[in-house]
Amino acid sequence: MIDLMLGELKRTWIQTLRYPSEVIGGVVILSAVFYGIFLGTQYMAGPSATFGTRLDTVVVGYVIWSLVLYIVNDIATNLQAEARTGTLEQVFLSPFGAPRVFFARAIASLTLRLCLILIVIAIITTITGSQLSFPPLLLLPLSTLLFGAYGLAFFIGSVALVLKNVQQLLSLFQFFLFFLLAAPTEDWTGLAKTISNVMPILPSTGLLRDLMARDVGLDWHGWAIALANGLFYFALGTLLFRWAEGKAKQQGSLGSY
């Protein structure tokens, strides 16, 4: 499995970095979109408005949104691209089994994405003057966020395997995620809080905002909920992916697109 992980890391990095202009373009677009959002908000609030902590939470929200969106799309777009280029069936010939291969792939592309995200964060904080902190405890809610996000990624990947065309679904999902991640769930109470605890990803995003933008310590109870939430959606996603693989093999549509 370690060899597979290393192999996927090597493949992902080589494929991406072989054409550096695409990488630079991605970073520029991510930074520019955020700067556009920032300028638009500033224009509406007036020149004298200062964002302070709220700016930091917006930056964190945007970065998480772009990371989660990338992860959620990753497996499905990968499946579709490989079906088109004709390598997908070769991947399914692996004795490791598809879920393990795609999980290794997801981790490999995550390392690449995290590097890009760090560059984007550096650009955004330089432009806006945002002051984000990166305490080591950050890794805990980040990991639960990633579990949840990969659960969703396997879910969308399953839909892509069975139904093939998921572009519309991905577009819809983009706005759904934006709405969910922008919601300040950490301030919610009662029934709304319970609902936010069972929704995918949400328990982790509030904790991340607390740690990175508000300098509030980690709420361990909240993190336990986030961990259970992340693991549940991850398990659900991988189980669904196994089912979808079997369904696609039954339909004879594994390599179709």
Partner 1 sequence: MSDLSSAAPRSSGPSPSIAHSSDSPLSDLQPSDLQLSNFPGGLALESEGLCKSYGRRKTRFEAVRGVSLKIAPGEVLAFLGPNGAGKTTTIKMIAGLIRPDQGWVRIAGRDPHREPQALRGVGAVLEGNRNLYWRLTPLENLEYFGVLRGMPGKRVRSRALELLEAFGLLDKRKEPVQKLSRGMQQKIAIAVALIHQPQLLLLDEPTLGLDVEAGETVKKLVRQVAASGCAILLTTHQLNVAEELSDRVAIIRAGQIVAEQTTEDLIRQFSQGAAYRIEFEGALDAGRRQEMALLGASVKGQFIHYLPTADTTSASTTLYKLLRILEPLPLLEVRQDRPDLTDVFLQLVQTND
What residue ranges bind partner 1 (CB under 8 A)?
3-4, 6-7, 10-11, 14-15, 18-19, 85-87, 89-97, 101, 246, 249-252, 254-255
Nearer of residues 79 and 207 to partner 1, judged by Cβ: 79
Nearer of residues 163 and 198 to partner 1, judged by Cβ: 163
Nearer of residues 93 and 191 to partner 1, judged by Cβ: 93
Backbone angles phi, psi at 202, to 5 degrees: -50, -45
Three-class SS of residue 199? coil
Q: How far is the CB of 29 from partner 1 (least distance, A)?
A: 21
Q: How far is the CB of 77 from partner 1 (least distance, A)?
A: 16
Let me know: does 248 contact 162? Beta carbons within 8 Å: yes
Which residue in 64, 59, 54 sits closest to 141, CA to CA?
64
Structural tokens at position 76: 């499905």
**What is the spatial distance between Cα 109 and Cα 130, in angstroms, rounded to a whole number?**
27
Q: How far is the CB of 2 from partner 1 (least distance, A)?
A: 8
Let me know: does 248 contact 80? Beta carbons within 8 Å: no
Nearer of residues 22 and 215 to partner 1, judged by Cβ: 22
Kindly report the number of other CB atoms within 10 A of residue 160's CB atom: 25
State which amino acid sits at residue 133: S
Q: How far is the CB of 101 from partner 1 (least distance, A)?
A: 7
Nearer of residues 102 and 155 to partner 1, judged by Cβ: 102
Q: How far is the CB of 75 from partner 1 (least distance, A)?
A: 16
